[in-house]
Amino acid sequence: MVTIKEFPKEEYLLKGHAACAGCGPSIALRLLFKALGNKVIMVVPACCTTVIQGPYPYTSFAVPLQNMLFEATGATCSGIVAALKIRGLEDITVVGWAGDGGTVDIGIQALSGAAERETNFIYICYDNEAYGNTGLQRSGATPYGAWTTTTPTGKRERKKNMPLIMAAHKIPYVATACPSYPVDFVNKLRKAREIRGTKYIHVLTPCPTGWRYDTSKTVEIGRLAVQTGIWALYEIENGRFRLNSPSDRLIDKSKRKPVREYLAMQDRFRHLTEADIEKIQQWVDEDWEYYRKLASNECV
Amino acid sequence: MAQIIIDTANHIAGYAAKAARVKVVAAYPITPQTTVVEKIAEFVESGEMDAEYIRVESEHSAMAACIGAAAAGVRTFTATSAHGLALMHEALHWASGARLPIVMAVVNRAMGAPWSIWPDFSDSLSQRDTGWIQFYCADNQEVFDTIIQAYRICEDERVFLPAMVCLEGFILSHTYMPVKIHDQEEIDAFLPPYKSGWILDVNNPFSHANLVSPEWYMEFRYMIQEAMENAKRLIPEIDKEYGQRFGFQHGGLIDKYQCDDADLIICTMGTMGSEAKIAVDNLRKEGLKVGAARIRVYRPFPVEEVKKLAEQPSIIATIDRHISFGMEGFLASEIKASLYHMEDKPLLAGFIAGLGGRDVTFRTIEEIAKKSLKWMKMGRVEKETVWVDLRE
Ligand SMILES: Cc1ncc(C[n+]2csc(CCOP(=O)(O)OP(=O)(O)O)c2C)c(N)n1
Ligand code: SF4
């Protein structure tokens, strides 16, 4: 376990990247490189990171990066891993880094295939809960009620639970994270690197542009997501579910802040009715009942 | 040691991938391609082939995995047909744009709807503009030799482009023919280890294929066009060198037969080229001056050679196993386009035949030839495009 003081000083996300001010994914990216160093080959499909890295002939990444088709991250990683194996370069960590759209929607097939083939790589879904690159349309990971440009009156369906879908693949490591908890995220990445097989980490990355809040509030919003329990930090290692700090203290409902606090900070939820907020609160409580069972091995 | 085996073109494609020392194969099954990948699975599992075989969950992923592997520095191979190729379409553009020398066997099959598993060129010809070199084979030996040649051409630094080696489903894919599998050491001497223009390297990090502004995009496209022109020069040279080394040569860009004094040249692609040779022999016995030209390489298109070819005959008849709806067969269009600037052009007659696997025998071709010769005497073609053997 590293502490924040032990984080390496090296920066592999270089100055001059093109993310919006206050961009949650770019904080996660910086942490990713701090955790894994530069013996990494990355695959990035079409997403905000296509823009963040900067246009040709520049790049803001100090690791080799293969830009790839929107839906093909998993399969591309399989190809790279196979080639590195043939070349005897298995100490290089292959990382797929994709948005929620590229993961839970159009890319789910290639990711599922790569996981089923036990491809030895880390797949990270950075979840800004919309299609950021194309102007903030809804995705399967957009939560109920949220405004997006294709759900102008709020999304009517619930968020797809991708980490549990990945856990159903029986891969050795699934984890959730949030850059507001950098130590947790970095340690999860370090752990994932040491495990053979497919590792899936789903990072909730607040997006001021899409979620409509002040750019200075990204870390705070991420914290609130965790403190209200709308996002839980956990890992599933070889099928064993464990809540991580501070989520592990939130099974008791009285310890969780009301989701209203989280929702109220973001204009994408501005139009929600009282009934909507209650419904969301009820779903969160139900999720936690499920986490409680998972954590106490009452179900898998 | 070289050996002669009797096998199907699909298995032969597998032998060729093995002989080329391919290191990563990623493929998804589709009739009539399946036995290519089954053969390779056998080779890999038995240890005869030192390669990683990625059993992907779709053709789109097959091409994506090949792109990843080629970018990470190894020789790759895949094979597909029809709907699988169509599903790959997006990734085909990506592979050529990324300048990765991937080689793929395309076992030609007609596109649905309605479903058909039988051959025509509608699958590969609809990928015409993806930036892939396209070879069309006439027999199983050519399939073997062309796959080996394709790697040499694609991995040449003047080219660095991917290639499709096309062979018609069932007509070749499932038909047994004797094929010489050349000596491995000689193949190794002909085909050096994998080379590509760039590689994902942790010691030399860069972003590959990131966003390119209008300031630069055209230059990237122009380089592909140049690479295609280079391939056009290189293909006949390499075919010739191959012939000297192994005793088999397949015509370079155009496989010509009895064209030198021909009044009529029958222009085809793929196995129809073999049938056309039989037709030419028969028609010559009747005293008719007929020749056959099989376009072996469709992209880059051999414009200059077609022009040269057109100096002799009074009429060229194209037979397309394909239709570009609302226009005509691609081959007919390409030949027309190639000859536009020529002063003394021959007449051109376009025939559509063999769609969805309908047989095109030498007899069919003889009929096409006779109709064309009639038009030649008349000095004009009566119909721009004729659908051969059509139930009306
Ligand atoms: C096949 C295909 N369809 C659509 C697009 C357009 N497109 C590019 S990025 C994107 C959305 C990406 O959303 P997400 O994966 O959530 O990442 P984000 O942009 O939010 O970082 C879309 C729809 C594309 N590039 N390719
Ligand atoms: S839209 Fe959101 S995720 Fe995308 S760069 Fe801007 S802040 Fe980051």
How far apart are alpha carbons A238 and A197 in whole angstroms?
11
Q: Which pLDDT score is estimated for A109?
A: 98
Distance (Å) of CA A194 to CA A198, B60, B337: 11, 30, 59
Residue-wise DSSP of A227-257: HTTSS--EEEETTEEEE-TTGGG-SSGGGSP
Which member of A74, A80, A110 has the closest CB to residue B69? A80
Centroid of ligand 2 to alpha carbon of A209 (angstroms): 6
B68 vs A: CB within 8 A: yes
Q: Does residue B161 have a pLDDT over 80? A: yes
Asked if A226 and A203 count as a contact pair (C-beta separation under 8 A), the reply is no
Judge: A51–B211 Cβ closer than 8 Å, yes or no: yes
Is A47 close to ligand 1, i.e. is its CB under 6 Å away?
yes
**B217 and chain A in contact, CB less than 8 A:** no
CA–CA gap between residue B266 and residue B277 (Å, rounded): 9
Q: Are A96 and A77 in contact (CB under 8 A)?
A: yes
pLDDT the model gives residue A133: 96
d(CA A123, CA A199): 6
Among the atoms of ligand 2, which is closest to the Cα of residue A136? 1
Crossing angle of helices A218-227 and A24-36, in 10° steps, is: 80
CA–CA dist A34, A32 (Å, integer): 5
State which amino acid sits at residue A259: V
Q: Which residue in chain B has the smallest CA separation from A55?
A: B211
Closest C-alpha to ligand 2, atom 8: A23
Per residue in B296-317, pLDDT tens? 999 999 999 999 999 999 999 9
DSSP character at residue A137: B
Distance CA A182, CA A188 (A): 10
CA distance B134 to B221: 18
A192 near A244, Cβ under 8 Å? no
pLDDT digits (tens, 9 = 90+) for A30-47: 999 999 999 999 999 999
Token pair in block for residue A49: 């990171």
The rounded percent of chain B whose pLDDT value lies above 90 is: 99
Q: pLDDT class for A300, splitting at 50, 70, 90?
A: low
Tens of pLDDT, residue by residue over B225-266, are 999 999 999 999 999 999 999 999 999 999 999 999 999 999
Contact A79 B64 (CB under 8 A): yes
Say if residue A299's pLDDT is above 90: no
Instruction: Give tens-digit pLDDT for A136-167.
Output: 999 999 999 999 999 999 999 999 999 999 99
ipTM of the complex: 0.96
Number of H helices, E strands in chain B: 12, 16
Q: Mean pLDDT across the stretch B34-58? A: 97
Q: Is the CB of A162 under 6 A from ligand 1?
A: no
Mutate which of A26, A48, A70, A202 for ligand 1 pocket (most atoms within 8 A of beta carbon): A70
Looking at every residue in chain A, the average pLDDT score rounds to 96
Looking at residues B54-79, what average pLDDT do you find? Answer: 98
In sequence order, the β-bridge partners of residue A94 are: A41
Please name the residues in contact with A218: beta carbons below 8 A apart, sequence gap of 6 or more.
Answer: A22, A23, A24, A27, A180, A206, A208
Least CB–CB distance from B202: residue in A39, A55, A78: A39
DSSP one-letter string for A19-82: PPTT-HHHHHHHHHHHHHTT-EEEEEESSHHHHHT-STT--SBSS-EEEE-TT-HHHHHHHHHH
* Average pLDDT along chain B: 97
